[in-house]
Structure formats: C-alpha cells, structure tokens
Amino acid sequence: MADSASKQVAGLVEELSGSSRRRRQEVAHEVALTAKAKPKAVLPHVDALVDALFRPEAQTRWEILDALAALADVDAEKVASAFDGAEASLFDDGSATVRLAAFVFLCRLGASSPARSDEAWPLLDEAIQCYHGDAEYRDMLAALLGLAQGDASGATKEALAERVKFDAKNGSGYIKSFSAEILQALS
C-alpha cells in the first residue's frame, strides 16, 4: 500500500511541472490532501514542491504551501528549503489565499526550532503589520498561536508578545481574544 501511495504521489508531482494550468491546480490540490493524510509519501518530493511555488497560478502555490505546512509538522528540516518561495508568496499582491498559506507555512516552520523562528519572525512580523485586520487575519492569528506554542526562541516569543500585547488589551472581537490567547501561551 505504501508503494502504491508513493507511486501515485510521484506521478502527481511530475504533473506539477506540466503545461496545463488547470491540471497543475488539480494536482496541487491532490498533493496537499495527500500531504495531510500521508505525509511520508510526499516527503521525498519536497524539491519538486519547492519548484512549484513559482508557478504563475495562485491556486497551485497555495495548495503546495498547504502541503509544505503539513510536512513541516513532520520534518521541518526537509521543507526548510521552501523558505524563499514562501517569502515571495507572503507578499503576493494578487492573492490573499497565497499570502495566508505562506504565513501558515512560515509559522509552522518557525515553531519547529529556535533558529527557524528567528529566521521567520521578521517576515511574520512584517506580514502582521501589513495584513492586520484583513479578512485572513483571524487565520493568521491562529497560526501565530501555533508559533507561540512551538519551539520558538525566547527572542521570537518576546517579540511576538510585544506585537500582540496592544490588541490583547485594547482590541475587540476575535483580534482581542486570539491576541490574549497568544499572550497566555507565551507565559
């Protein structure tokens, strides 16, 4: 069964570099689902996933970032090579969904070790400032909670606490409650 899943994933991954935009999107979706359900079948194909972060269509990129985020929970070292592609996607002017997927990936990668959190934090901090209050901000706060609960460095945790402190005290609605939850996780 594992061999079958590995062969299926290899075939899908090969199609990520195909000429059909629509097929790349479909395949990226299947890869993301598989990464969540059977991450070990997708891990050998990280290099191809990183390459797919530079496809022109937004859906392919956000689906692959979702796959990489799932893989980061299993083997962060293996997916660390996606950092530059995620950084480029974090400030994608055309797609909030791509930006959010990049943010989630960087939070999960950052939660995996103190060194990775220090690398990811400046980008995450900039994104928080850029997208504060946007439609995807609720999901960004949920991802930040994961960073706060992870293996982030003391410096990253301190900077994160400083970033959400004002909203935890003075914000309203989900921004206030999530910010307070992040602060509680950091203490």
- pLDDT tens string 35-79: 999 999 999 999 999 999 999 999 999 999 999 999 999 999 999
- Look at residues 84, 110, 136 and tell me which one is the last residue of a structural domain: 110
Do residues 22 and 105 both lie within one domain?
yes
Do residues 97 and 28 both lie within one domain?
yes
Do residues 34 and 96 both lie within one domain?
yes
* Residue range 105-126, pLDDT digits in tens: 999 999 999 999 999 999 999 9
- List the one residue out of 114, 118, 55, 112 whose CA is nearest residue 89: 55
Do residues 160 and 88 both lie within one domain?
no
Do residues 39 and 90 both lie within one domain?
yes
Count up the domains in the chain and report the number: 2
Do residues 141 and 55 both lie within one domain?
no
Do residues 100 and 116 both lie within one domain?
no
Do residues 84 and 154 both lie within one domain?
no
Do residues 165 and 92 both lie within one domain?
no
pLDDT of residue 81: 97
**Phi, psi values for residue 133, rounded to 5°:** 90, -10
Whole-structure pTM value: 0.95
Do residues 80 and 117 both lie within one domain?
no
Residue 69, both tokens: 């985020």
- Look at residues 82, 110, 138 and tell me which one is the last residue of a structural domain: 110
Segment 87-93 shows an average pLDDT of 95
Domain limits for position 21: 1-110
Do residues 8 and 99 both lie within one domain?
yes
Segment 2-26 shows an average pLDDT of 89
What are the residues whose beta carbons fall under 8 Å from the beta carbon of 127, sequence distance 6 or more? 90, 91, 99, 103, 140
Do residues 36 and 125 both lie within one domain?
no
